[in-house]
Amino acid sequence: MCGITGYIGSKDSLRNSLDNLKKLEYRGYDSAGVLFYGDGGFKLERAVGKFENLDKKVASMKGVPGYAAIAHTRWATHGEPSEKNAHPHFDCKKKIYAVHNGIIENYRELKTKLEKAGHKFKSETDTEVLPHLIEWYLNKGEKDFFTAFTKALIEIRGAYSFLVVNVLEPKRIYFAKLGSPLVIGTNKGEHLIASDPTALAGVAKQVMYLEDGQRGYCEAEECVVVPKKPKPEDLLLTLEEAKKGKYPHFMLKEINEVPNILKAGLLGRLKADKGLVKLGGLDMMAKRLKGVKRLEIVACGTSYYASLIGELLIEELADLPVEVSIASEFRYKQNPLKRDTAYLFVSQSGETADTLAALRKVNDKKLLSLGLVNVIGSTIARETKAGVYNRAGAEIGVASTKAFLSQLSLFALVALYLAKNKNNENYKKLVKELEIIPEKIKKVLKKSEELKKLAVKYQEYNNFLYLGRGYNYPLALEGALKIKEIGYVHAEGYAAGEMKHGPIAMVDPSFPIVAIITKNRLYEKMMSNLEEIKARGGKILAIATEGDKLIKKVANDVIYVPATLEQFEPMVNVIPLQLFAYHFAVLRGYDVDKPRNLAKSVTVE
Ligand code: G6P
């Protein structure tokens, strides 16, 4: 959601803040704006819609080096997407400008107080209260801007990362962070601020990850952070990861990266020849993990569906009871939190507001919190006691694809790591198979053209039912989510065994069924479910195992995938679901990387 950048240093401040902001487009937004010091003073430009609309407005302008620039992409929460609601927002005298990520929960209360004191608001946003509140403290006689800023922050309830410019101090950017991420890139003679490290890929070698409650200001040469300045860390993201390369969309690029990502994720962690699984992050907690009787996994969206597959893997291989919760439910549940339970938080971005709130609920009780996170240095990664990184690199496409696969392979590793009996044949077979999964996925990726043809064939349908059983049931949910997210059609995922309890009533030729029916323990059961659908005139597109001739008698269309062990089938089977959704959405002319109304990293509730 929303993106923030700020630049102060020896280069063109307008260009640099906007170039970095452009890298955050993937997060989802509906308007953009910038404040910079150009010819004759500060200039504010804002535009609704695509980033290009803003870029065009400032095409002939330059930002004076050494002076502050702050920029923002907005994803509407309070007030419709419009120029007046786009950030930066300002005070009555147009002396204080602010950009904001997060939500000011008590903004109504604050706005009423400020309006009573004569402040005039120009937007419907919650953000606008900040510049007015700072102005209010200055009007009351506060001489020091930073103190006025701090006092304003104390009054604000909610989550924020703020950048603020005081036009009387044009060579300085103030900032504050609570609950929304903010990083500061430190180069010689310049500071680059952003809400997401991706914005700084290729332009900052080192970054400071701010902690909640930290605030301060940056000038070209110096940066002050109170109460404590974080240590700069190497930024491991490369510019390559933030570029599409030869692919038309990030989503396609990222799906194609999967085999390499899985290999990178297994590197040093899986030693198939020795039957060994090593997870450094969990080793740190080995003693405490031994006493754990139950695992509770908490996540949102695609990470939640990956966790449902993780539940099956861990229950089966490690014989440990597992429960999976949606973070937005978990955080408000009156549930017993126990010492003998480990809580695992799964998040690609590591910033999802609900997952973070759920984590803090567990941390408040001093219980064992673990993370399975992709973005290095993200808040969830930092606040969990121990964990495992995905090593999937930056995922730019809003609808998660490669991160889902890396989550599945990590769950496989975690399940094997926790397995009680590591000497049996089953364990050895699984370890060996996991190592060759990337090669099997490579074979499935070659089916892209075949899936495109199917997408053409099914393009006119507006309803889909995805079915699976066992390990493929959560995958049916994920398949349906993917086509909903980017294809904007109604799709449901269901456990095939539940068909008789309702959904079969909907079966007719206008409601195609995507069935995941690979050769596993439940193959025959799944086949019976499909026979029942066929008998009622249902149209079936099946994902089946190579060599399965029988399925052709039931399904209208079949996509074959290589055989693998049942526990790892989702990793192979999800590729056709992702590619089908991708081609379907592209054919309909939709922006697959930035689907409408969605955000990559949901940093507000
Ligand atoms: C958003 C994204 C999804 C993602 C979900 C959870 O909805 O669009 O792709 O699965 O958030 O995000 P997380 O970063 O916590 O995995």
User: What are 468's two structure tokens?
Assistant: 């699976």
Task: Count Cβ atoms within 10 A of the Cβ of residue 265 and give its class: 0-12 exposed, 13-18 middle, 19 or more buried.
Answer: buried
CB contact at 8 A, 518 and 544: yes
C-beta 601 within 6 A of ligand 1: yes
Residue 398 Cβ contacting ligand 1 at under 6 Å: yes
Tell the burial category of 234 from Cβ atoms under 10 Å away from its Cβ (0-12, 13-18, 19+).
exposed
**Ligand 1 atom nearest to CA at 398:** 8
Among candidate residues 2, 218, 223, 300, the one labeled active-site is 2
Respond yes or no: is residue 223 known to be catalytic. Answer: no
Amino acid at 271: K
Q: Could you list the beta-strand ranges (E) of 327-455.
A: 341-347, 368-373, 386-389
* C-alpha 349 to ligand 1 mean position (Å): 7
Looking at residue 604, its pLDDT comes to 80
Neighbours of 115 (CB within 10 A): 12
d(CA 212, CA 230): 11
pLDDT bucket at 152, cuts 50 / 70 / 90: very high
Tens of pLDDT, residue by residue over 508-537, are: 999 999 999 999 999 999 999 999 999 999
Listed in sequence order, the residues at least 6 apart from 58 whose beta carbon sits closer than 8 Å to its beta carbon are 14, 18, 34, 36, 45
Q: What is the pLDDT of residue 147?
A: 98
Q: Is there an atom of ligand 1 within 6 Å of 347 CB?
A: yes
45 bridge partner residues: 34
Among 330, 574, 601, 604, name the best residue to mutate to test ligand 1's pocket (greatest count of ligand atoms within 8 A of Cβ): 601
**Cα–Cα distance between 515 and 512 in angstroms, integer?**
9
Burial class for 59, CB neighbours closer than 10 Å (0-12, 13-18, 19+): exposed
C-alpha pair distances (Å), 149 with each of 130, 133, 169, 300, 475: 8, 8, 14, 34, 48
The helix-helix angle for 129-139 and 107-116 (nearest 10°) equals 40
The H helix count followed by the E strand count for the chain is: 20, 26
CA dist 112 and 117 (Å) reads 9
329-377 residue pLDDT tens = 999 999 999 999 999 999 999 999 999 999 999 999 999 999 999 988 8
Q: Is 537 helix (H, G, I), strand (E, B) or coil?
A: coil
Does the C-beta of 374 come closer than 6 Å to ligand 1?
Answer: no
**What confidence tens digit (pLDDT) does each residue in 221-233 have?**
999 999 999 999 8
> Which residues are CB-contacts of 510 (< 8 A; sequence separation ≥ 6)?
461, 463
CA angle (153 as vertex; 80, 376 as ends), nearest 5 = 80
Q: Is the CB of 400 under 6 A from ligand 1?
A: yes
Our answer to whether residue 2 is catalytic in this structure is yes
Q: How far apart are CA 216 and CA 232, in angstroms?
A: 15
- The predicted model gives 544-573 an average pLDDT of 98
* 10, two tokens: 């020896």
The rounded Å distance from CA 303 to ligand 1 centre is: 7
Ligand 1 centre distance from Cα of residue 599 (Å): 8
Q: What is the whole-number distance in angstroms between the Cα of residue 348 and the centre of ligand 1?
A: 7
Contact 55, 82 (CB under 8 A): no
Decide: 90 and 96 in contact? Cβ < 8 Å: yes
Atom of ligand 1 minimally distant from the CA of 400: 9
Going by alpha carbons, the residue nearest to atom 8 of ligand 1 is: 600
Residue with tokens 């007046």: 84
pLDDT digits (tens, 9 = 90+) for 101-138: 988 999 999 999 999 999 999 999 999 999 999 999 99
Q: Is 595 in the pocket of ligand 1 (CB under 6 A)?
A: no
pLDDT, tens only, 85-105: 999 999 999 999 999 998 899
In angstroms, the CA 278 to CA 271 distance is 8
CA dist., res. 83 & res. 49, Å (int): 9
Q: How far is residue 304's CA from residue 281's CA, in Å, rounded to a whole number? A: 21
Confidence of residue 449 (pLDDT cuts 50, 70, 90): very high
Give the distance (Å) from ligand 1 centre to CA of residue 302: 6
Atom of ligand 1 nearest to the CA of 299: 15
Percent of the chain surpassing pLDDT 90: 82
Average pLDDT for 547-565: 98
pLDDT for 343 equals 98
Which of the four pLDDT bands, split at 50, 70 and 90, describes residue 2? Answer: confident
Distance 300 CA to ligand 1 centre (A): 6
pLDDT at 240 over 80: no
| Mean pLDDT (whole number) for 369-394 | 91
| Atom of ligand 1 lying closest to residue 375 CA | 14
Token couple for 392: 């999937």
Alpha helices in 40-195 (DSSP H): 51-57, 107-116, 129-139, 145-155
Distance in angstroms between the alpha carbons of the first and the last residue of the chain:
11
How many Å apart are CA 96 and CA 170, to the nearest integer?
A: 10
* The pLDDT of residue 241 is above 80: no
Peptide bond just before 88 cis, omega within 30 deg: yes
Q: Which of 255, 346, 578, 602 to mutate to test the pocket of ligand 1 (most atoms within 8 A of CB)?
A: 602
Residue 349, ligand 1, Cβ within 6 A = yes
Q: State pLDDT tens for residues 23-79.
A: 888 777 889 999 999 988 999 999 999 899 999 999 999 999 999 999 999 988 888
Instruction: Enumerate the β-bridge partners of residue 163.
Output: 99, 175
Strands of 189-336 (E only): list them: 190-194, 206-209, 215-218, 223-226, 233-234, 270-271, 276-277, 294-299, 322-326
Which residue has tokens 């400032």? 58
Amino acid letter, residue 38: G
Decide whether any atom of ligand 1 lies within 6 Å of the 326 Cβ.
Answer: no
Supply 186's token pair. Answer: 């430190």
Question: Which tops the pLDDT comparison, 1 or 406?
Answer: 406
pLDDT of residue 196: 86
Q: Evaluate: CB of 300 within 6 angstroms of ligand 1.
A: yes
Beta carbons of 198 and 237 less than 8 angstroms apart: yes
Regarding the beta carbon of 181 and ligand 1, being less than 6 Å apart is answered no
What tens digit of pLDDT does each residue of 257-315 get?
A: 999 999 988 888 988 778 788 898 888 888 888 899 999 999 999 999 999 999 999 99
Residue entry with tokens 């390369």: 245
pLDDT at 599 over 90: no
